[in-house]
Amino acid sequence: MISKSQEIEDRAIEYIADLMCVAARTAPKGKGIDNLVVMTVKGRVKDQLSEEMCRIAQTTGADFFARDAKCVEKSALVVLLGQKVKPVGVPSCGYCGFANCQENTKNSGLCSISVGDLGIAIGSAVSIASQHHADNRIMFSIGRAALNLAIFEEEVKVAYGIPLSVAGKNPFFDRG
């Protein structure tokens, strides 16, 4: 049996994405509270993300959304990480700018510890991509598009996307 390059790369990128999701899930979380939502998207859903990013660019003038949409088009798949941002109940924290978690909730604030947990999960995920030499880049723009499209189907308030590629040249490096 012979396995050719494209088939090998397709299998590998999905395996790497799965490992990235596991790394994100097992990343440390404040008070051990897990409000993380992870998934991978490809095919039509990935195309919808790219289309929404282009729409955002056109309606807002934020051209980096269109630039990033081209990166999504070149990617094999996208890992999405979102956070159901809820106060974790750390007494006298105040990192969110409110006196306590009750004030945060009353004012629809975002818990800084919960948002920080998302950042740690993202770092864990991209470390796996790096260890496996998969081209990747963390993109706020993908997360915004995913939230607009309600892809998470949960109370996710903050999200990021990580497109993945296996190519002779990293498509996420020279994005000009």
Residue 143: name the closest of 80, 90, 101 by CA. 80
Ordered domains of the chain (ranges, CATH): 17-164 (3.40.109.10)
CA distance 65 to 60: 9
Cα dihedral 121→125→128→132 (10° resolution): -170
Per residue in 135-174, pLDDT (tens digit) is 999 999 999 999 999 999 879 999 999 999 999 999 988 7
**pLDDT per residue over 85-129, tens digit each?**
999 999 889 999 999 999 999 999 999 999 999 999 999 999 999
The answer to whether 96 and 110 have CB atoms below 8 angstroms apart is yes
